[in-house]
């Protein structure tokens, strides 16, 4: 897989992400359990092709080690957000700090804050990101279906983003 495709996969807000290098460094005492030292996992900028503003993606688990779900810790700086996108097998988000927005197409944007859990059904066109004034971090859990975990679409317009009361 080309490196840019790997980075794009990592950034999928979700994105199923790849921690294979970290998982290869088995720091546990037994092969029955693998501990990934997150200090060894690089934080990557969210690619401009898929994010507006500054977002940071830290891979937590890989969808191929051995299950179908990948996880990432994604931080959106104020005003940052993902493009519109869908997930063929759905996505769960757990907000760990700050507040942000998520919107499913055709519905009103919903404010999400630390402790909130979001489930996006398979195929639902949506976006998520920080408020205009506050950083938001979430854990994204995204399963793969036939090797795909995300379909990226166009950026969220400023008009759509500023629609919520930021």
Q: pLDDT tens digits for 59-114?
A: 888 766 567 888 999 999 999 999 999 999 999 999 999 999 999 999 999 999 99
Q: Which residues contact 93 (CB under 8 A, 6 or more apart)?
A: 14, 102, 112, 117, 118, 119, 120, 128, 138, 139, 140, 141
Q: Which residues contact 31 (CB under 8 A, 6 or more apart)?
A: none
pTM: 0.78
Runs of H (alpha helix) within the chain:
3-11, 20-24, 158-161
Q: CA distances (Å), 48 to each of 11, 112, 119, 125, 154, in order? A: 10, 23, 25, 19, 11
Q: pLDDT tens digits for 59-70?
A: 888 766 567 888
Which domains are present in the chain?
Answer: 3-24+37-161 (2.60.120.10)
The sign one gets for the Cα dihedral 93, 46, 146, 60 is negative
How far apart, in whole angstroms, are the C-alpha atoms of residue 54 and residue 82? 10
């Amino acid at each position: 897989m080309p490196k840019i495709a790997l980075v794009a996969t990592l950034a999928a807000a979700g994105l199923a992400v790849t921690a294979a290098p970290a998982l290869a460094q088995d720091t546990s005492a037994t092969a029955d359990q693998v501990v990934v030292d997150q200090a060894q996992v690089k934080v990557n900028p969210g690619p401009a092709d898929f994010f507006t503003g500054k977002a940071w993606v830290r891979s937590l688990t890989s969808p191929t080690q051995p299950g179908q779900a990948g996880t990432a810790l994604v931080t959106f700086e104020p005003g940052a957000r993902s493009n519109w996108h869908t997930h063929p097998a759905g996505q769960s988000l757990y907000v760990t700090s700050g507040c942000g927005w998520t919107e499913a197409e055709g519905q009103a944007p919903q404010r999400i804050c630390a402790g909130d859990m979001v489930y996006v059904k398979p195929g639902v066109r949506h976006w998520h990101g920080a408020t205009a004034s506050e950083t938001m971090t979430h854990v994204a859990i995204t399963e793969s279906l036939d090797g795909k975990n995300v379909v990226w679409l166009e950026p969220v317009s400023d008009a759509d983003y500023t629609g919520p009361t930021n």
